[in-house]
């Protein structure tokens, strides 16, 4: 229903980098007509040029949704292009990290319905997860519309308050980088044990991807899955005694890492 509303009234996408392109590709595949989409992007890709959307044209509609998908440092220069849409029925959705709802209320008017969303990079392969929270002017219909649009690139969860967004940013927003680093360090450890680099990388990539899929689809929680593959006094137990060390293993390290990311998110939000 939400895509039908967007198809009828139109959608504006401000910024079409990797995340914007992933979302747009998902919407078009889901049946949203290219003619219903206006995209504003100073450096459009060849793929974007070939989609048939209204590219860098004057916005002649009052769209159902306007999505802000530019980097925070570009916000000041980019937002004026959407200012005329504020104060009406257009739903604004921001996927800009570290930019609070209050900044968009200031830009578009305090009565504008605004949703802040935090997707992550696996959205590029349709396996992302996005967290959303709206201001007081966003009703259930607006949240449903945002959820349907963002579900084109993965799962969507709703937050209880905007203050949770910093933790979301630290866990799922920045989280893919932690996993990528795990892959590269696991591969490097394999090389240190005598494996060729290409083989070690292949083993690490497939292991992390497979374990993630298993964890997502299994009835057991991750703790039980860990127990299931840990034989007493075996090789896995030997490794876990190092990784689960409370002083310098995963528990302490990831707690510090996530806290650092959340603190930085708070700093960005406060200017």
pTM of the entire structure? 0.91
Answer yes or no: is 259 a known binding residue: no
Q: Which fold has domain 175-269?
A: ProC C-terminal domain-like fold (1.10.3730)
Answer yes or no: is 14 a known binding residue: yes
Answer yes or no: is 128 a known binding residue: no
Q: How far apart are CA 131 and CA 128, in angstroms?
A: 10
How far CA 223 is from CA of 103, 182, 248, 254, in Å, comes to 40, 19, 19, 16
Beta bridge partners of residue 38, listed in sequence order: 12, 54
Answer yes or no: is 119 a known binding residue: no
pLDDT of residue 1: 54
On the question of a common fold for 2-165 and 175-269, the answer reads no
Model confidence pLDDT, tens digit, residues 174-227? 999 999 999 999 999 999 999 999 999 999 999 999 999 999 999 999 999 999
pLDDT of residue 208: 98
List helix spans (H) across the chain: 2-9, 18-29, 46-49, 75-78, 101-108, 140-150, 165-168, 175-192, 197-217, 222-228, 235-243, 250-269
Domain 2-165 has CATH 3.40.50.720: yes
pLDDT of residue 25: 93
Q: How far apart are CA 155 and CA 145, in angstroms?
A: 14
pLDDT of residue 236: 97
Q: How far apart are CA 90 and CA 106, in angstroms?
A: 16
pLDDT of residue 97: 82
Answer yes or no: is 29 a known binding residue: no
**Residue in the block written with tokens 């929680």:** 221
Residues of the chain with pLDDT under 70: 1-2, 271
pLDDT of residue 227: 97
* Annotated domain spans of the chain: 2-165, 175-269
Answer yes or no: is 63 a known binding residue: no
Contact of 2 with 11, CB cutoff 8 Å: no
Q: Which residues contact 22 (CB under 8 A, 6 or more apart)?
A: 123, 124, 126, 128, 153
Q: What DSSP element (H or E) covers 157?
A: strand 154-158
Answer yes or no: is 69 a known binding residue: yes
């Amino acid at each position: 229903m939400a895509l039908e509303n967007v198809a009828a009234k139109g959608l504006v996408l401000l910024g079409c980098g990797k995340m914007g392109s992933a979302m747009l590709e998902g919407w078009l595949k889901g049946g949203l007509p290219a003619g219903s989409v206006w995209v504003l992007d100073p450096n459009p890709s060849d793929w974007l040029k070939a989609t048939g959307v209204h590219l860098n044209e004057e916005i002649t509609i009052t769209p159902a949704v306007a999505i802000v998908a530019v980097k925070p440092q570009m916000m000041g220069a980019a937002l004026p292009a959407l200012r005329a849409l504020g104060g009406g029925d257009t739903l604004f959705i921001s996927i800009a990290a570290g930019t609070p709802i209050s900044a968009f209320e200031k830009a578009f008017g305090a009565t504008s319905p605004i949703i802040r969303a935090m997707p992550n990079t696996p959205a590029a392969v349709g396996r992302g997860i996005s967290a959303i929270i709206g201001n007081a002017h966003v009703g259930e219909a607006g949240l449903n519309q945002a959820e349907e649009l963002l579900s084109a690139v993965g799962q969507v969860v709703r937050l209880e308050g905007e203050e949770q967004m910093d933790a979301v940013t630290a866990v799922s927003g920045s989280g893919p980088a932690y996993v990528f680093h795990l892959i590269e360090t696991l591969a490097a450890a394999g090389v240190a044990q005598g494996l060729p680099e290409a083989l070690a990388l292949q083993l690490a990539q497939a292991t992390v991807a497979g374990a993630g899929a298993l964890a997502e689809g299994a009835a057991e929680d991750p703790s039980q899955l860990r127990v299931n593959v840990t034989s007493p006094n075996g090789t896995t137990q030997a490794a876990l005694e190092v990784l689960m060390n409370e002083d310098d293993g995963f528990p302490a390290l990831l707690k510090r890492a996530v806290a650092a990311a959340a603190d930085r998110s708070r700093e960005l939000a406060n200017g």
